[in-house]
Structure 1
Amino acid sequence: MSVKFKQWLATCLLLASGITAHAASTKDCETLTATGNSEYPPYLWREGTNNGLLGANRAIMDEIGKRLGIEIQLVDVGSWARAQETLKTGQIDLLAGAFYTVPRIQYMDYVYPAFLNTTSVVWRKKDNALAYTKQEDLIDKSVTTVINNSFGQAFDEFAKDKLDLQYVTSLEQALKMLIHDRTDFVLYEKNPGLAYADTLSMSDQINALEPAISSEGLYLTISHRSACNTGTLRGLLAKVVQEMLQDGFMQEALQQSLKDWQQFSQSRS
């Protein structure tokens, strides 16, 4: 066997193995796994029966999968901190909703544009006389939020430099601290805060204050360690997100989920 023939044969075998590997990879990526913040109504909340999640982001993930012809399995992996960790380590492919921050781009790619926008506010007990008219009013106060929560790059930097934040594992815990005067303020998003306050019968005891501390886009992201993270997939995801924004699907999903959460919370009371 000549040297040239051996080289040609080796090249053919290499190409064949590459084609096989690509085919296997494509097949594997017909199903993607996703997770998100499971205490985040009306965007996401625990179904309570089958380790599943409900909400606007669930409807959006299902529709993205339908339009792309792939299955997106949205699962509850626990806390928001745990959800981010599973994406960081590549155990999960997609995160169904995250703000943009510089630390997060170290381990995940953002799909543009944002599929929804959400506002974060300062929560205060109604009988608390402490003033809040600007973010500087939070300095030297007792302020609480949820572990690994973000309010966008600008406010995160302010909080890191100026505030002594307390972190708890859930929004419910933070709001109960507020009610029992164990913290002056709670930082969290407006819609999920309103939803939980209603569920916990706290709506008449706490206020969402103005001005908001941030208004941020909610993005679909994909793990750097996902075997399915390719330029092709990111391009397809971006295209379908844009189409869904243009045809109004995102806002329809949000409005429907506001109604669904109300029914869900009433059924539990």
Structure 2
Amino acid sequence: MLVRIFTFCFFLIGIHAHVNAKPNCQSITMSAHPNYPPFHWRSGNTLTGASIELSEHIFSELGVKAHVVYMGPWKRVLKSAKDSKVDFIPALKKTLERKTYLDFTKESFAANPVAVFTRKGEIVQLNGLWQLSRINGSINAGDRHGELIDTFLKRQPNIQRIHGIAQNFQMLSMKRVDYVITGLMSAQNYLRSNRLENKFDVVLQLDNYEVHNAFTQHFSKKCPQVVKQFNLRLNELKQQDKITPVLKHYQQVWLSLSDKNQHSPP
């Protein structure tokens, strides 16, 4: 079982005055993708990771109690947000469809490049997505990577949507697909933790992509002051460059836990 880490962020985040929140705004329910390290991942019946810890501490500063819940697969998390069963989702891609039920923070949480992975040595570096049009690819079911990539994928008849990053790379390894498009950081963490990084190449990296935090529109309308103050505090942390160290820390946490799990006795 993965272990949650609480101590790292305390020295990064100072204590600010609490928001004078309405009684029905003094708690918030948060969930996220269950397998997206170092941003967040499942740990038993809850979630941990850089976005979880930082969001919890910001809410704590604002006098808002954050309840972190594991909701299951990513599609279920998004459905729960649509149904207002979840109030807040940290570190996800901003898309037009998600904007119909989520209010994204003005300030992005972090950069999150998207990459095209292929089998080692089979494809040279690409100049653009258009070069993938005639070969078979896959993407993690439910993932979104921004309008440019999502529009490209919708137009490709030879794209499979496969549940789970492990299954996507397994299909690539078995030559069932020729490439996988996914978030660079989460994929690299998966490959390193499973000692697979020497079996695949990054042939195209798209850097102008970010993840944002998002409140459900129901919560935003009910508690606009909390949303406003969260945005301000997030902006302060970015200006002080205090988010990157937390991401690096949780990357090491994830790799250490994965290595420990691999070497634990059966």
Pick the TM interval, shorter chain. 0.7 to 0.9
Return closer, same or farther for 1:229/1:137 CA change in 2, 3 Å cut-off: farther
2:243, 2:128 → 1: CA distance?
A: 31
How big is each residue's C-alpha offset from its partner over 1:160-204, in whole Å with a ceiling of 9 and x where there is no partner? 234532101111110111111111000001111011112233111
TM-score calculated relative to the size of structure 1? 0.84
Q: What's the counterpart of residue 46 of structure 1?
A: 42
Confirm or deny: 8 A CA contact 2:25 2:223 kept in the other structure.
no
Letter in 2 for 1:245: K
Measured after TM superposition, the shift of residue 39 of structure 1 is 0.8
Measured after TM superposition, the shift of residue 130 of structure 1 is 6.8
How big is each residue's C-alpha offset from its partner over 1:116-173, in whole Å with a ceiling of 9 and x where there is no partner? 1110000101143476332111102111011121111122122223453210111111
Q: What's the counterpart of residue 32 of structure 1?
A: 28
TM-score calculated relative to the size of structure 2? 0.85
Q: What's the counterpart of residue 10 of structure 2?
A: none
2:143 corresponds to 1:143: no
1:230, 1:76 → 2: CA distance?
A: 23
The structure with the largest alpha-carbon Rg is 1
Return closer, same or farther for 1:163/1:68 CA change in 2, 3 Å cut-off: farther
2:239 corresponds to 1:246: yes
1:162, 1:182 → 2: CA distance?
A: 16
1:91, 1:259 → 2: CA distance?
A: 32
2:226 corresponds to 1:226: no
Confirm or deny: 8 A CA contact 1:110 1:221 kept in the other structure.
yes
Q: Percent identity?
A: 19
2:222, 2:253 → 1: CA distance?
A: 33
Over aligned residue pairs, what C-alpha RMSD do you find?
Answer: 1.9
2:213, 2:176 → 1: CA distance?
A: 35
Q: What's the counterpart of residue 83 of structure 1?
A: 77
Q: What's the counterpart of residue 149 of structure 2?
A: 155
Return closer, same or farther for 1:214/1:255 CA change in 2, 3 Å cut-off: closer
Q: What's the counterpart of residue 206 of structure 1?
A: 200
Measured after TM superposition, the shift of residue 246 of structure 1 is 1.9
Letter in 1 for 2:239: Q
Return closer, same or farther for 1:181/1:229 CA change in 2, 3 Å cut-off: farther
1:131, 1:259 → 2: CA distance?
A: 28
Confirm or deny: 8 A CA contact 2:26 2:65 kept in the other structure.
yes
2:168, 2:211 → 1: CA distance?
A: 22
1:35, 1:45 → 2: CA distance?
A: 10
Confirm or deny: 8 A CA contact 1:93 1:228 kept in the other structure.
no
Return closer, same or farther for 1:107/1:183 CA change in 2, 3 Å cut-off: same
How big is each residue's C-alpha offset from its partner over 1:82-125, in whole Å with a ceiling of 9 and x where there is no partner? 11111111000001111111111111101110011110000101
Return closer, same or farther for 1:229/1:114 CA change in 2, 3 Å cut-off: farther
Return closer, same or farther for 1:158/1:129 CA change in 2, 3 Å cut-off: closer
2:165 corresponds to 1:171: yes
Which aligned runs of 4 or more in structure 1 are off by greater than 6 angstroms? none
How many residues align? The count is 242
Letter in 1 for 2:29: T
List alignment gaps of at least 5 residues for structure 1. 1-24
Letter in 2 for 1:220: N
Letter in 1 for 2:219: S
By percentage of residues, which structure has more helix?
A: 1
